[in-house]
Structure 1
Amino acid sequence: MKKLLLFLLLTLVLSTGIVQGASEAAPIEYEKGVVVFVGPLDQSMQKQYQMVKGELVSIQLTSGPEAGKVVDTFNFVSERSVYEIKVKQGDKVIVAVTRDLGKTSYHVSDFDRFDYVYILGGLFILLLIVFGGFIGAKSVMVIGFSMFLIFKFFVGQVLANQYSLTLLTLLVAAAIAVATQVVVCGLSKKTLAAVLGTIGGVVVAGILSVLSIKFMHLTGLDSEEAMLLKAFTLSHINFQDVLFAGMVFGALGAVMDVTISIASAVYEVKCVQPAIGFKELVRAGMNVGRDIMGTMSNTLILAYAGSSLPLMLLIASQDNVSMLRIANLNMIVTEFARAFTGSIGLICAIPLTAVITAILLKND
């Protein structure tokens, strides 16, 4: 019911936008600004907004052609909605600027948050380099490569809709696995074993994802964003394939972590005891894998649970709704499928990596 109401509301809003577009409504520009004053309305605003509760906000624009200019705007405040933007002096904000019939209007659109993302990202990179040294610097490189491959190449191909999204997902995952482990660990039999183990684990997760989507009748439309895209923007895209891609990429990082750990452990055992046999190498890899298995599987489950916490609260708060109905909702089953397919792929990668590493190192 909630999704239906949301869909109808968005339909109304967007259709209104279409009507406005037909009548050549003024485009909205967005600029950065800093709040310099928050206080009661002046007399002109009191007359204009006498039926609405709000406050006067003065903002100094910091970007665009009017950078440095201080503008006044009305900010609606009812103190009852969590969706209101309650600003104070010194806050960085995004300002919506509209120019219509020779009149320019300014409104607080949202907080300017991304500068703090730069700070966190910079701290992350700094700590990687300080504590990881040259390996940390190479880690920064492979993270950048992975993000470029996903956001530039993969997303672009999804929008173009020219190739099989399933095949494209597996190819991108393999490219990320190869690039990450070769750049960080160098060209060696250890790296080759980790790459092959990663590909094997991801393939297992991918097969289980396909089967889960088919037999659980998952649509991929488990979020508001997906429904919006399907309804208004990307109606030609199969969101079951998008769901598959999300499951595979979600498992990829954890599987890579496990496989390189096992390959490195088996390699070190071989270096210390060159005469060790194949079975003993496999056993060593499995012993390490068992220690990793519980914590990494739990890591995946906790990661999905953390991202789904509002959903869990929604379930827990529904006292009068059948748990049979809730447990079979598309969004609920999708989260379970994500967690379990990724964890099973991770578990299968452990013996696969141990065996491959032992095969590659047994004659060294």
Structure 2
Amino acid sequence: MAGKHAGGHARGRDEHAPAHGHGHGHGHGPAPDVAVGRGPRIALTALLVAVAAATLVGIVHWWPDSGRVDKLQGSMAFTAQGATYVPATATKVEGRCAQVGASGSAGCGHVAAKVADGPDRGKAVTVEVPPEVSEAGLSPGDSLELLRIPGANGQPATYSYFSIERNTPLWLLGAVFAIAVLLVARLRGLMALIGLGVAAAVVGWFLLPAMLSGHPVVAVAVVAAVAIMYVVLYTTHGVSLRTSVALGGTLAGIALTALVAWYAVGDTHLTGVVDEGGGVLIAQVPGLSLQRVLVASVVIAGLGALNDVTITQASAVWELRAAAPDMGRAELVRSAMRIGRDHVASTIYTLAFAYVGTSLALLLAVQLYDRPLLDLLGTEEIAEEVVRSLTGGIGLVLAMPITTALAALMVSGPRTAYDGHGEDSWIV
């Protein structure tokens, strides 16, 4: 019995050691305790504290200029002066006209509606809508948003279609998503939702306003990405050395992604202007480089997949060490890398298909041109998506071995005497 107890110190918690349960205190599943080296633990803690301090300094230094942001926000008129948006309820929907050239005939591509608010509340109006709108499932009883333009010289106001009111179904979809996450992932799902909310706050209150304030776009994006990852990883996976190893690998992945994206966007001479929004930004925000905005978008877009790979890889090393305390460090790395290669391969597909999905309409339109697809890869629209996919993939792929090596250095070698400080301990 004594021999068995002594052998168990290599990967179990000492029955006399204090219970360091930070990660468990958040309700996450118990992770195996493995012996961790004192030196690597101190070095990793010092590194993460230094990066956190630098991130806070960056946030303070590049905090948005509220005066400039307030001046820019609302600087563009969304519609004609005096026009207002009023809610309405559809009462009759007519689809595409049967005959070519008859789009202007009464009833074709039109929606009859009743104004629900404003000075003309209760008034019945008929507005013209694009055929695809009326054929997208619009039916009587659906809520619309109409544009009301006051009449001149005593003439009645005129109405035109603006959009379908989608807030209710969107909120309902969000509620279903949150309920599904909570039912399946429970407390960990709750923590993930909290982390997602914090990430949204960082983007809305810091990242976007700081860019509009004229601060360096890529630096601001990196600071925001790092801040998001600190919050998301620790809230979702608990405060532990294992999570810290994943965070270290994620930080390396962010840095590599930003570096590769910087050179890739520059070498391909992408402008970042692919739609009307880019032209608006150039006109309204002097000094804003859309090339740098493109680099920043690559950094932010890769965070989810990067987090997925690094936390899984750190967990793989911990589980392998706990299951095989006699395994040599080199074999530990090789085993973890085999797991990581499978994960990276599937994640690369995820990234590629995600970009294809978001660009499906563009790819369909490209098929209509009288040039081969390969000849059109250099166009701004397609090249931007290719660079975004490949750059994010490079950062993700390189983060995997970095996380593996960091985790292997953190856990002690085979049969190292357990010091009572498991993976959840921050005692140095």
Q: Above 0.5 in TM-score?
A: yes
Deviation, 1:290, is: 0.9
The C-alpha deviation readout for 1:272-321, integer Å capped at 9, x for no partner, is 333443223322321210110111001101111111112211222212x3
Which is further off, 105-114 or 207-216?
105-114
Distance between the aligned counterparts of 1:289 and 1:66, measured in 2?
63
Residue type of the partner of 2:148? V
Once superposed, what is the RMSD of the aligned Cα atoms? Answer: 2.6
CA distance in 1, matches of 2:368, 2:118: 49
Residue matched to 2:392:
342
User: How far 1:34 sits from its partner (Å)?
Assistant: 1.8
**Cα distance, 1:73 vs. partner?**
1.8
What are the within-5 Å matches in structure 2 for residues 132-211 of structure 1?
Answer: 132-161=185-214, 163-211=215-263
Q: Which moved more, 1:307-316 or 1:276-285?
A: 276-285
The aligned counterpart of 1:43 is none
Equivalent AA in structure 2 for residue 151 of structure 1? G
Ranges in structure 2 where 5+ consecutive residues have no aligned partner: 1-75, 95-103, 419-428
Task: Please name the residue that 1:330 is paired with.
Answer: 380
Q: Following superposition of structure 1 onto structure 2, how do residues 112-127 of structure 1 map, counting pairs within 5 Å? A: 112-127=165-180
Instruction: Indicate conservation of the 8 Å contact 1:277/1:362, yes or no.
Output: no
User: Structure 1 CA distance, aligned partners of 2:218 and 2:362?
Assistant: 28
Q: Distance in 2 between matches of 1:354 and 1:32?
A: 56
Higher mean C-alpha deviation, range 282-291 or range 139-148:
282-291
TM superposition shift of 1:236: 2.8
What's the CA shift string for 1:247-285, capped at 9, x where partnerless? 111111101001001111111222233344322332232
The residue identity in structure 2 corresponding to 1:170 is V
Hey, what's the Cα distance between the residues in 2 that align with 1:131 and 1:156?
35
Report the CA distance shift for 1:325/1:227 in structure 2 as closer, same or farther (over 3 A): farther
Name 1:243's counterpart in structure 2: 294
Cα distance change on mapping 1:256 and 1:98 into 2, 3 Å: same
Structure having the larger proportion of residues in helix = 1
C-alpha distance in 2 between matches for 1:85 and 1:312? 23
2:336 corresponds, among 285, 289, 296, to 285
Residue 357 of structure 2: aligned partner: 306
Cα deviation 1:131-150 (Å, max 9, x = unaligned): 00100100110111111111
The answer as to whether partners of 2:115 and 2:125 remain within 8 angstroms in 1 is no
Number of residue pairs aligned between Structure 1 and Structure 2: 324
What letter matches 1:106 in structure 2?
Y
Cα distance in structure 2, aligned partners of 1:27 and 1:287: 64
Unmatched tracts of structure 1, length 5 or more: 1-16, 40-50
Tell me the amino acid that sits aligned with residue 201 of structure 1: G
**Corresponding residue SS for 2:302:** helix
**Structure 1 residues 169, 26: CA separation in 2 closer, same or farther (over 3 Å shift)?**
closer
2:33 alignment partner in structure 1: none
* Pairing partner for 1:264 from 301, 305, 315: 315
CA distance in 1, matches of 2:312, 2:239: 16
The 1:26–1:172 alpha-carbon spacing in structure 2 relative to 1, beyond 3 Å, is: closer
- Report the identity percentage: 26
* CA distance, structure 1, for counterparts of residue 289 and residue 206 of structure 2: 18
**Which structure exhibits the higher relative contact order, with contacts defined as CA atoms closer than 8 Å and separated by 6 or more residues?**
2
The structure richer in strand per residue is: 1
- Separation in structure 1 between the aligned mates of residue 148 and residue 270 of structure 2, nearest angstrom: 42
Aligned partner of 1:98 among 122, 132, 149: 149
Task: Measure, in 1, the Cα distance between the counterparts of 2:194 and 2:91.
Answer: 40
Match of 1:29 among 66, 76, 84: 84
Taking the aligned partners of 2:147 and 2:258, their CA distance within structure 1 comes to: 43
- Provide TM-score, normalisation by structure 1: 0.81
1:105-141 deviation line (CA, Å, top 9, x unaligned): 3333111122211111111100000000100100110
Check the 8 A contact 2:86/2:146 in 1, yes or no. yes
**Who wins on radius of gyration, i.e. which is larger?**
2
Which residue, 97, 105, 114 being the options, matches 1:59? Answer: 114
Q: 1:343-363: CA deviations, max 9, x gaps?
A: 111110110000001111126
Give 1:72 deviation, angstroms. 1.9
Q: Which string of whole-angstrom CA distances, capped at 9 and with x for unpartnered residues, describes residues 53-101 of structure 1?
A: 455613241xx5569x322223226x8x547788531121112223344
| Residue identity opposite 2:301 in structure 1 | G
* Cα 1:324–1:272 shift into 2, 3 Å: closer
